[in-house]
Structure 1
Amino acid sequence: MARPRNFDPDIVVEVAMRAFWEHGYAGASFDKLVDDTGASRHGIYQEFGDKTGLLLSTLLHYEQTVLHKLTLELRGEKAALPEIRQFFQRVAKVARYDTEGAGCFMCNSHIEMEAEPQIREYTESFFQRLQRLFRRCLSQAQAQGELEPEKNITALSHYLVGLVRGISVNARSNPSAKAYDAYIEVALSVLK
């Protein structure tokens, strides 16, 4: 007979997400995850399979909560250049202030866990979806005359995904707000 669950999986995922985000996968030991979440080792294994399964659950939670809010305007029917600029201002703010310099959890996990097929597949899928969102916004910008018709929107959409990753890496070195704003302004100047 299976033991009854003595924890709320949603709380475990939220707490584990913070631990992985702050310390990385390698830095968040299983003992630390057990201590932080209050769940038993057996319970975590039973619910999530293993530490990698727990990480995958935290990435899904991160996408559904943090990233969903960040990309909300990009998903608008008429989203174009202003929404792309707003998105990057929000990403920079989150990376700079809300995460205490931890950067983007999705980006960090993508880099750290590149050799783990399950995680790599999930993070690459997210970045492909983000690239398609950017491409749609850039196409809308061209249709509205905000972006020159000869601009290669596929190349620009890949560039913007790279910029998201760059912001995450940059956040870890704690740049000043002024330096960050300049970085974003120069990076987005290709959209003029």
Structure 2
Amino acid sequence: MEKRQKAPIGRPRGFDADAALEQAMRVFWEQGYEGASLTDLTNAMGITRTSMYAAFGNKEELFRKALERYTEGPASYGARALREPTARQVATAFLNGSVRATTRPSCPTGCLGVQGSLAAGDPGRGARDALVTWRNEHTALLRDRFQRAVDEGDLPPGTDPGLLARHLMTVANGIAVQAAGGITRDELQQVADMTLQSWPPATNPAQLP
């Protein structure tokens, strides 16, 4: 007798999970965690709730995946800035990137990492905690980079790298909030430029790249 073929295990999703996650990211970016209903999310993603749960988990898990996508996409300027050769260039690339990312014509204004769950109540506690961790991790990366700059003589010996990183992150977060409020890119760029005017001078600029 001819052997019967086994049916494939599981069913194909029938949708582009990457494109669906992109749309979910935009909904969270524009509406925040609590403001984004499951109906908003599934409509934008073009899938059913059952498919969403199967592919991405619950709403909080979907939010965390959307935040990862945001970090690797619109917010990737932060990782690129850390690779700049001097602390001033790091700060310049970081703030300029923040201005551009929060005012893109084809994207929601502001920053998902700042506004995503600022007003979240108890149901959104997990998302809020995820964003607090996200912001703290990025501040720590800047702190470590500025500590290296102090060690290399790129920043004055008395510079507090943690305070400098927190200052830069606070300005970037403020830029995001202002962008969400309708402030233009040109105005926000002026804010970034003003911040950079007071940047600590390099101790041994001749030795730097």
Structure 2 length as normaliser, TM-score?
0.78
What is the alpha-carbon root mean square deviation over aligned residues?
A: 2.5
List aligned pairs for 1:13-162, cutoff 5 A: 13-75=21-83, 78-98=85-105, 102-113=109-120, 115=122, 116-162=124-170
Q: Do the aligned partners of residues 148 and 164 (structure 1) sit closer, same or farther apart at CA in structure 2, a change above 3 Å counting? A: same
Aligned length: 191
- What one-letter code is carried by the residue in structure 2 that aligns with 1:181? Q
Q: Distance in 2 between matches of 1:181 and 1:73?
A: 16
- What one-letter code is carried by the residue in structure 2 that aligns with 1:81? R
Whether 1:171 and 2:196 are equivalent positions in the alignment is no
- What one-letter code is carried by the residue in structure 2 that aligns with 1:89? N
Residues 125-158 of structure 1, C-alpha deviation per residue, up to 9 Å, x if partnerless? 2222211221123223334444322222211111
The question of whether the paired residues in 1 share the 8 Å contact of 2:83 and 2:90 is answered with no
Q: Shift of the alpha carbon at 1:170?
A: 0.9
Structure 1 unaligned regions, length at least 5: none
Residues 99-140 of structure 1, C-alpha deviation per residue, up to 9 Å, x if partnerless? 656211111114144753432332222222211221123223
Q: Shift of the alpha carbon at 1:63?
A: 1.2
Structure 2 unaligned regions, length at least 5: 1-8, 201-209
- What one-letter code is carried by the residue in structure 1 that aligns with 2:135? F
Question: Which structure is larger by alpha-carbon Rg, 1 or 2?
Answer: 2
Name the % identity: 25
Whether 1:11 and 2:6 are equivalent positions in the alignment is no
Greater CA deviation, 17-26 or 83-92? Answer: 17-26
Greater CA deviation, 155-164 or 90-99? Answer: 90-99
Q: Distance in 1 between matches of 2:121 and 2:92?
A: 29
- What one-letter code is carried by the residue in structure 2 that aligns with 1:191? W
SS in 2 for 1:102: coil
Greater CA deviation, 65-74 or 13-22? Answer: 65-74
Q: Shift of the alpha carbon at 1:42?
A: 1.0
More helix by share: 1
